[in-house]
Chain A
Amino acid sequence: MNYTDKAKGIENQIDIPNSDKVAISMQNVSIKYNSQTAVKNVFCDIPKGKVTALIGPSGCGKSTILRAINRMNDLISGCSLTGKILFDGYDLYNKQIDPVEVRRRIGMVFQQPNPFPKTIYENIAFGARINGFTGNMDELVANSLKRAALWGECKDKLKESGYSLSGGQQQRLCIARTIAIEPEVILMDEPCSALDPISTLKIEETMHELKKNYTLIIVTHNMQQALRVSDYTAFFNAEKIDSSKSGKVGYLVEFNQTNKIFNSPKQKVTKDYITGKFG
């Protein structure tokens, strides 16, 4: 199969119902670490107000693509991107774009829960304060915690350290902290991979709550999770190609509504992956 086929990218776009607006549009995105191509020729329109899951085997570039959306790859030296990522009419990789501003509007939750070494209250207030929030901070903290489904568990210990929470609670604190800055898009990089099944379930419930207000993009290794939480699924795969000296290069195989990806995938490789034949 020919993954460089641009027509396929366009075909992917067609699958989005017209009623869903596009939040982020990736146009021929390729990302390199130094000279090593990690992921190539991605065309994908991520719909607004939906949960989109990026799935695929290890090394297929799904996390790389996710980090590219809010310029987190800038932290990795030697990482470069070609193509365009459009968000709200801006090309995020235009030279005039300030990555700090991008990250204010596209928040991110990481694989490892990483609360700040501050109180629970301060963990949430920090982001809002540095972003110039001037309203009622107590209210914002309470609302953010409620929306992250953590309020009940920690309303009596807001002055305690964020580290006093369990792993799952810490991750929900990180989600609350991201919500507090009122982003438009929330990226989640395998948010449940370090958590137990019960915490995972709670985070998934949180995601269902969040999608009413935000566009969510999550990377997951867990296909059941993708099936449970997402409206759309993008399946990435990695393939060894002759032109590269070493390593596999990731590419987008198929992007569609989640039920279509899981019930009637168009590509054979997608079917093989979701039925567990590889990966």
Chain B
Amino acid sequence: MKNISKKQKSKYENLYYHPYKKNNIKDKLLTSISILFSTIAILPLVLVLAYILIKGGSLLSYDLLTNLPEPPGDDIISAGGIGNAIIGTLIITIIATFISVPIGIGGGIYLAEYSKGALFSKFIRFGTNVLSGVPSIIAGVFIYGIIVYTKIIFGSNFSAIAGGMALSILMIPTVIKTTDEGLKLVSQELRKGALGVGASKFVTITQITLPAAINPIATGILLAIARAAGETAPLIFTALFSFYWSSSPQSILEPIASLSVLIYNFAIEPYKAQNELAWAASFILVLLLLFLNILSKWLSKRTNLET
């Protein structure tokens, strides 16, 4: 009896935490390594934001937001403002949203509610995944080839509409995917309940399932907009750039300014004033994208709380 208790005692003495035990050292080492790498991963974001804030934030003024940009070389001291580029980015993004949201939501509804996992829907899902990986410049060249070059839309070549179409190609896969996934999250019980009171499939989708999935879908649309609004390459081929206001409704058929193309054009100019304008535009663009991302995060959080 005594013998056993002694043995037990010696066994349990090791219950204290030993910082220099092999396992504990390993554990700490791995923890610090993973912390280090995750810090490195977040570093670019922090640095980019800080750099743009310092370079561009100080240039923020009322004139910057309301004036037109001036062509390089006209005035050494000032390059004007980015007013038309802000409006242009908004117009192009709105056009892209108007094209991609109906197509994307319609496609998502088909995948989630109507398709029965047959070959056709598998093909659409696969195609959507491929499309979301297509480089944005390809979307630009594609629209250039079929819209801009052929002047198919009322004889205009470079235009806001063409720009919006190019961006909508980038947005559609995201909207389809989030609609599909959002609808799949809606409980099957809810669908049965609606059908059980004599609702047709159309009524069930439009009045029960779609409203129930509105938050994830809206989140997806916002993320898609955030991605598209910052694109440059597709716009160079389609919307080009303009030094003037897009004031009349017809101006959506004309070349239009955008923040990202303004940055691209002015950042490589040899004039300091233009470079500074590019920094200011970067600041505004990043702010816009950050806002969209935070908004979508907030929306998706609200969804999780509700369910």
Residues of A with Cβ closer than 8 Å to B?
70, 72, 75, 77, 100-101, 103-105, 107-110, 112, 114-117, 126-127, 130-131, 174, 177-178, 180-181
Contact = CB atoms under 8 A, between A and B. Distances in A.
Contacts of B196: 70, 72, 103, 107-110, 178
Contacts of B286: none
Given A103-B198, A116-B193, 14 more contacts: A75-B191, A100-B198, A103-B197, A107-B196, A107-B198, A110-B193, A114-B187, A114-B192, A117-B306, A126-B194, A126-B197, A126-B199, A131-B198, A181-B198
B200 interface: yes
B211 interface: yes
B190 interface: yes
B193 A130 contact: no
A100 B192 contact: no
A114 B189 contact: yes
B212 interface: yes
Interface in B152-174: none
B199 A127 contact: yes
B211 to A, nearest CB: 7
6 contacts: A75-B191, A100-B200, A114-B193, A117-B212, A130-B197, A177-B197
Chain B interface mostly: helix
Interface of B: 116, 187, 189-200, 203, 207-208, 211-212, 306
A181 B196 CA distance: 10
Interface centre among B192, B197, B199, B212 (most CB of A within 10 A): B197
B207 A130 contact: yes
A72 B197 CA distance: 11
B68 to A, nearest CB: 48
A117 B193 CA distance: 11
Contacts of B116: 77
Interface centre among B190, B195, B198, B212 (most CB of A within 10 A): B198
Contact of B198 (A77, A104, A110, A174): A104
A115 B198 contact: no
A71 to B, nearest CB: 9
Contacts of A77: 116
Contacts of A101: 198
